[in-house]
C-alpha cells in the first residue's frame, strides 16, 4: 500500500533504508551498487561525512532565510566558489532548487535580457530534437523529446527544434566529422533565418546528452561552430549541464572540453550530490549588467532560492570535487568503464554503440548490430534491462525514445566519482548479465 503517486504506478518499489559509498540497501537487506548515481546525481556516493557535517553546522546557525530579506554567507561562498572554478566568462550565479527550475530561470533570463537591451521582438527558443531539459512546462517545451511532450503538446509554448549531434546514427558514411558538424551548424543557421535573423532569443543544448540518449557527446568542433552561428545573429547560447556538469564528464564543467564560452549554463544534480535539492544558473557579466543597468530586477523568483542548507551541502560538494586528483580519478575510472564495456559487450549482437566521457557512459541496444535496426518499442527492452539489473543488485538508468522516427533503447551509467576499479568491474559484470537476459529470445 502506498499513498504516493509514484511515477510508475504499478511498480512495486523496494524501500531504500540506508546508503554507504556506492551502495544502497533496501528494507529486505538487499544491496544495490549505484551504477547510475540515481539519475546522475550522487557524485560523491552516499553517506559522505563531510557533506553531512557541513549541512549540520549550517542547520545549527540558520536553516532558512528568505532571499528578499537576506543573503547568507554560505550562499555567497558557494557562488564565489562556482565562479572561481567555472570557465572564464561565467561571473554570476542564480541559485535554484533543481534542474528544471534552472532551465526555466535561464530561459526567462535570456528573454528578459533582450527586453532590457531594447530587443523585445526576440521571442523564439531553439533546441534539439530528443533533448531533455526538464519537466516543468517551459523546460518541457524547450526539450525535444517527443514521448515526454506528447500529451502536453497543446499547452506547451512554441519552441523550435533542430537535429541533435548524434554521430552513431546521423553522420553519413561518406561524411567527415568536420563536414557533419558543419551540416548541423548550417541547419541551426537556416532555422534562425527562417524564424527571423533578429527574432531568436537562445539556442539550448546539453554538451553531452544524458536523459534521452544515454551519454552522447557532440563531435569535436560542433559547439565551436554553433557558437559562431549564435554570435552571427546575436543569439544567446544556453548550455544545459544539469546532468553532464559538476565533474560528471571528467571536468567540472562539461563545456570546458568543447572550448566554447556559453552565455548561460544550468547546473543541478551533482551540485548537491543528492544531499540537498539544488541547482543554479551561471551567467555572463554581459547579462548581469543588462539587469543591473536596466530595470535592476530579474523578474523571477522561488521561495527556496539560495536555501542555506542546500547551499552548505553544495558548497562542500563542490569543494570536494575541486580537490587535486578528483577529476583525474573520474577520467581514469571512466576509461576503465569504457574499456571494460568494450571488452565485455563490444561484440554482443545487441550492443550497437558504447560511448560517453568520464563517468558518463551510454550503451545503445539494437536488434541487429550491423544494420543498426532498433528493437520493437513494444518490447520495452530498456525497461527489461532495468528490471534484470535490479534483480542482480545493480542500479542503471535505462531509457527508450524515438528520434526522427527511429526508436532507441539506451542504458546510462553514471556511478559516483568515489568508485574503485573492482566496483567498476562489478557494474560491468552485472550489466552484461542483465543485457543478456533482457535481450534473450
Ligand atoms: N536538464 C537536463 C539535461 C536533465 O538531465 C534534467 C534531469 N534529468 C533536467 C534538466 C531537469 O532536472 P530536474 O529533474 O532536477 O528538474
ipTM of the complex model: 0.99
DSSP secondary structure of 121-155: T--EEEEETT----SSHHHHHH---HHHHGGGGGG
Q: Is the CB of 132 under 6 A from ligand 1?
A: yes
Residue 25 is assigned to a structural domain of this protein: yes
Which pLDDT value is given to residue 357? 98
In this prediction, residues 292-307 reach a mean pLDDT of 96
Cell 545487441, residue?
A: 350
* pTM of full prediction above 0.90: yes
Residues 155 and 426: their CA atoms lie apart, in Å, by 45
Atom of ligand 1 nearest to the CA of 210: 5
Same domain, 201 and 64: yes
Q: Give residue-wise pLDDT tens across range 39-60.
A: 999 999 999 999 999 999 999 9
Q: Which three cell numbers mark 23?
A: 551502495
Query: How many domains does the structure of the chain reveal?
Result: 2
Residue 11 is assigned to a structural domain of this protein: no
Same domain, 348 and 286: no
Ligand 1 site-directed mutation target among 41, 133, 249, most atoms within 8 Å of CB: 133
Residues 58 and 127: their CA atoms lie apart, in Å, by 39
With vertex at residue 81, the alpha carbon angle to CA 304 and CA 267, rounded to the nearest 5 degrees, is 55
| Residue 441 pLDDT greater than 80, yes or no | no
b (16+ CB within 10 A) / e for 87-102: beebbbbbbbbbbbbb
Residue 335 is assigned to a structural domain of this protein: yes
Distance 133 CA to ligand 1 centre (A): 6
Ligand 1 site-directed mutation target among 42, 128, 134, 217, most atoms within 8 Å of CB: 134
Ranges assigned E (strand) in 190-323 = 200-205, 208-209, 216-217, 236-240, 264-267, 279-283
Q: Is the CB of 206 under 6 A from ligand 1?
A: yes
Q: Give residue-wise pLDDT tens across range 129-175.
A: 989 999 999 999 999 988 899 999 999 999 999 999 999 999 999 99
Same domain, 312 and 330: no
Same domain, 174 and 218: yes
Nearest protein CA to atom 8 of ligand 1, as residue? 211
Same domain, 118 and 162: yes
Which pairs with CB-CB distance under 8 Å and at least 24 residues apart come from 26-32? 30/393, 31/393, 32/390, 32/393, 32/394, 32/395
Residue 152 is assigned to a structural domain of this protein: yes
Same domain, 269 and 345: no
Q: Is the CB of 242 under 6 A from ligand 1?
A: yes
List the one residue out of 167, 103, 189 whose CA is nearest residue 139: 103
Which pLDDT value is given to residue 86? 98
Atom of ligand 1 nearest to the CA of 100: 16
Residues 381 and 411: their CA atoms lie apart, in Å, by 10
Q: Is the CB of 436 under 6 A from ligand 1?
A: no
Same domain, 273 and 328: no
Name the pLDDT band for 335 (thresholds 50, 70, 90). very high
Given a contact cutoff of 8 angstroms between Cβ atoms, the answer to whether 109 and 297 are in contact is no
In this prediction, residues 386-415 reach a mean pLDDT of 93
Same domain, 311 and 372: no
Q: Is the CB of 239 under 6 A from ligand 1?
A: no
Partners of 33 in the beta sheet?
Answer: 23, 394
Q: What are phi and psi for residue 249, nearest 5 degrees?
A: -100, 10
Atom of ligand 1 nearest to the CA of 136: 16
Ligand 1 site-directed mutation target among 104, 140, 268, most atoms within 8 Å of CB: 268
| Residue 10 pLDDT greater than 80, yes or no | no
Distance 142 CA to ligand 1 centre (A): 12
CATH of the domain at 357: 3.90.1150.10
Distance 144 CA to ligand 1 centre (A): 13
Distance 441 CA to ligand 1 centre (A): 35
| Residue 405 pLDDT greater than 90, yes or no | no
> Which DSSP state fits 9?
T
Which pLDDT value is given to residue 406? 85
Which pLDDT value is given to residue 197? 94
Assign 169 to helix, strand or coil.
Answer: helix
* Domain span at 131: 52-321
Atom of ligand 1 nearest to the CA of 211: 5
CB count, 10 Å around CB of 59? 13
Same domain, 300 and 428: no
Atom of ligand 1 nearest to the CA of 139: 10
List the one residue out of 249, 255, 203 whose CA is nearest residue 226: 203
Same domain, 168 and 276: yes
Residue 9 is assigned to a structural domain of this protein: no
Atom of ligand 1 nearest to the CA of 98: 15
| Residue 404 pLDDT greater than 90, yes or no | no
Q: Which three cell numbers mark 439?
A: 535481450
Atom of ligand 1 nearest to the CA of 240: 3
Which pLDDT value is given to residue 143? 95
CB count, 10 Å around CB of 432? 17
Cell 535505462, residue?
A: 398
Same domain, 328 and 310: no
CA 345 to chain centre: 25
CATH of the domain at 174: 3.40.640.10
Nearest protein CA to atom 1 of ligand 1, as residue? 133
Q: Is the CB of 112 under 6 A from ligand 1?
A: no
Same domain, 30 and 90: no
| Residue 430 pLDDT greater than 90, yes or no | yes
As a whole number, the mean pLDDT across the chain is 96
Bigger pLDDT: 406 or 304?
304
Atom of ligand 1 nearest to the CA of 277: 15
Q: Give residue-wise pLDDT tens across range 238-297.
A: 999 999 999 999 999 999 999 999 999 999 999 999 999 999 999 999 999 999 999 999
List the one residue out of 314, 320, 434, 386 whose CA is nearest residue 38: 386
Amino acid at each position: 500500500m502506498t499513498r504516493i503517486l509514484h511515477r510508475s504506478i504499478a511498480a512495486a518499489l523496494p524501500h531504500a533504508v540506508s546508503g554507504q559509498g556506492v551502495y544502497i540497501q533496501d528494507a529486505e537487506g538487499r544491496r544495490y551498487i549505484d551504477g547510475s548515481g540515481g539519475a546522475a546525481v550522487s557524485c560523491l556516493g552516499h553517506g559522505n561525512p563531510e557533506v553531512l557535517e557541513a549541512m549540520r553546522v549550517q542547520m545549527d546557525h540558520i536553516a532558512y532565510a528568505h532571499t528578499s530579506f537576506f543573503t547568507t554567507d554560505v550562499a555567497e561562498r558557494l557562488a564565489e566558489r562556482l565562479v572561481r572554478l567555472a570557465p572564464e566568462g561565467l561571473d554570476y550565479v542564480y541559485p535554484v532548487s533543481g534542474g528544471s527550475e534552472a532551465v526555466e530561470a535561464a530561459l526567462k533570463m535570456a528573454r528578459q535580457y533582450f527586453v532590457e537591451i531594447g530587443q523585445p521582438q526576440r521571442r523564439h527558443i531553439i533546441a534539439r530534437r530528443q533533448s531533455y531539459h526538464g519537466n516543468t512546462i517551459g523546460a518541457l517545451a524547450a526539450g525535444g523529446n517527443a514521448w515526454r511532450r506528447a500529451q502536453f503538446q497543446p499547452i506547451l509554448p512554441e519552441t523550435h527544434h533542430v537535429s541533435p549531434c548524434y554521430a552513431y546514427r546521423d553522420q553519413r558514411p561518406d561524411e567527415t566529422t568536420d563536414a557533419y558538424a558543419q551540416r548541423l551548424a548550417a541547419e541551426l543557421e537556416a532555422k534562425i533565418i527562417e524564424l527571423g535573423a533578429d527574432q531568436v532569443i537562445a539556442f539550448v543544448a546539453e554538451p553531452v546528452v544524458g536523459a534521452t540518449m544515454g551519454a552522447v557527446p557532440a563531435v569535436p568542433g560542433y559547439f565551436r561552430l554553433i557558437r559562431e552561428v549564435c554570435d552571427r545573429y546575436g543569439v544567446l547560447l544556453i548550455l544545459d549541464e544539469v546532468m553532464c556538469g559538476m565533474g560528471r564528464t571528467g571536468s567540472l564543467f562539461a563545456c570546458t572540453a568543447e572550448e566554447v564560452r556559453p552565455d548561460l549554463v544550468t547546473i543541478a544534480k551533482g551540485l548537491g550530490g543528492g544531499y540537498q535539492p539544488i541547482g543554479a544558473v551561471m551567467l555572463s557579466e554581459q547579462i548581469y549588467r543588462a539587469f543591473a543597468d536596466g530595470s535592476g530586477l530579474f523578474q523571477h523568483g522561488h521561495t527556496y532560492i539560495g536555501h542555506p542548507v542546500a547551499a552548505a551541502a553544495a558548497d562542500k560538494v563542490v569543494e570536494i570535487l575541486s580537490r587535486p586528483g578528483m577529476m583525474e580519478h573520474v577520467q581514469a575510472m571512466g576509461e576503465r568503464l569504457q574499456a571494460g564495456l568494450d571488452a565485455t559487450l563490444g561484440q554482443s549482437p545487441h550492443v550497437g554503440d558504447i560511448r560517453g566521457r568520464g563517468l558518463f557512459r551510454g550503451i545503445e541496444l539494437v536488434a541487429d548490430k550491423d544494420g543498426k535496426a532498433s528493437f520493437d518499442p513494444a518490447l520495452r527492452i530498456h525497461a527489461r534491462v532495468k528490471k534484470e539489473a535490479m534483480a542482480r543488485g545493480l542500479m542503471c538508468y535505462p531509457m527508450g525514445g524515438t528520434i526522427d522516427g527511429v526508436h532507441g533503447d539506451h542504458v546510462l551509467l553514471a556511478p559516483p566519482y568515489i568508485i574503485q576499479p573492482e566496483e567498476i568491474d562489478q557494474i560491468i559484470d552485472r550489466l552484461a548479465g542483465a543485457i543478456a537476459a533482457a535481450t534473450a529470445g
